[in-house]
Amino acid sequence: MTVSTQTYQPTMTVGQVYLRIAGSADPLRAIGNVSQLDLEIEEDVRDLTDYTAIGGGIWDTVARVKNVSLAVTLHDLDGENLKLASHGAVTAVAAAAVPAEALTAVQGGLCRLAHPGPTLVTVTCATPARVTATAYALGAQVRKTTSPSHVYQCTVAGTSGASEPTWKTDGTTTADGSTLVWADLGAFAAVDGTDFDVRPEGIMIRGGGIPSGCAISAAYSHGAYIAVEGLVTAQQTYEMAFGGLNEANAGSPCLLDVWRCKFGAAKKRGFIGDDFQAVELSGRVLKDTSKGVGKSAYFREQVV
């Protein structure tokens, strides 16, 4: 037996973790700042009790590897890492201008836009104009086509008359046809900072210029972003590599290769808190049957 003459060195490692789809020719992708990388071997131990003497004891024991697991804590939450953590699909969305997004306003409520980070926002009234000889249900809204453009809501259902009524613009009601009655909700106004506020997630309706239930149209621009659809893909099998440096031994290399592994979805995602966000992933190391005699089918360490 060859005895190593290497002196003992304490170990404290930092370094970069890499992933790629197992068996692919893709380059190993650095997954950013990782504060935890643990490999744990769990054994199924079977003991044979010594039945030959009082007091028992262990006659023999057999330990079989039951599971090899991984634990990884990610701090760089880019699209690929979020895809990994959520079993998701990532779409890159280019910057664009949205000419008209249909929305329904609610006083004091948020109109959620389809794209984040809107800029150059303009809001216009999309409530339809009144149509003659048309049945309108209670709560229906129409707009006056001439200036100043007011929005009206049906308070008594009925059928509109053959000609447009003389609209009241003082907050009272207007009769239309034989039974239909419209209530004046006021002149439509959509001034940024007065009637609505622009937020990263959409438009917050406030003030009296945009009545509740009013159909509106938003035009805006947005920058490029990624969209992650969670829990829409199956688990992938990955190859992992760790390029470590032992700070306790003058930065000497301490490397780890895991040939095949699978990660479960992150059990918890924190979105509000006082600390930097992190995603904790746990996974299983799988056997790689392609390794030859004397080579580990699970992982390899190389330590300088």
**pLDDT for residue 144:** 86
**pLDDT for residue 207:** 77
Listed residue (268, 241, 286) closest to 86, CA to CA: 268
Q: Residue 272 has which token pair?
A: 């509000």
**pLDDT for residue 5:** 59
User: What number of CA atoms fall less than 13 Å from residue 235's CA on the CB side?
Assistant: 13
Q: Mean pLDDT of all residues in the chain?
A: 94
Per-residue pLDDT of 108-147, as tens digits, reads: 999 999 999 999 999 999 999 999 999 999 999 999 877 7
- Rounded Cα–Cα distance for residues 41 and 285 (Å): 10
How far, rounded to the nearest angstrom, does the alpha carbon of residue 221 sit from its chain's CA centroid?
21
Q: What share of the chain is helix, strand, coil (3-state, %, to 5)?
A: 5, 50, 45
Asked if residue 215 lies in contact with residue 221, where contact means CB atoms within 8 angstroms, the answer is no
Listed residue (14, 220, 34) closest to 124, CA to CA: 220
C-alpha Rg value of the chain to the nearest Å: 33
**pLDDT for residue 6:** 62
- Rounded Cα–Cα distance for residues 14 and 201 (Å): 38
Residue 192 is classified by DSSP as B
**pLDDT for residue 3:** 55
Per-residue pLDDT of 233-291, as tens digits, reads: 999 999 999 999 999 999 999 999 999 999 999 999 999 999 999 999 999 999 999 99
Residue 242 CA: distances (Å) to CA of 168, 173, 192, 209, 224:
75, 74, 51, 59, 32
Is the pLDDT at 4 greater than 90? The verdict is: no
Show the domains of the chain with their CATH numbers. Answer: 13-90+230-303 (2.30.110), 96-225 (no CATH)
Is the pLDDT at 215 greater than 70? The verdict is: yes
| Mean pLDDT confidence for 158-179 | 94
Please give the model's pTM, rounded to 2 decimal places. 0.82
| Mean pLDDT confidence for 158-182 | 94
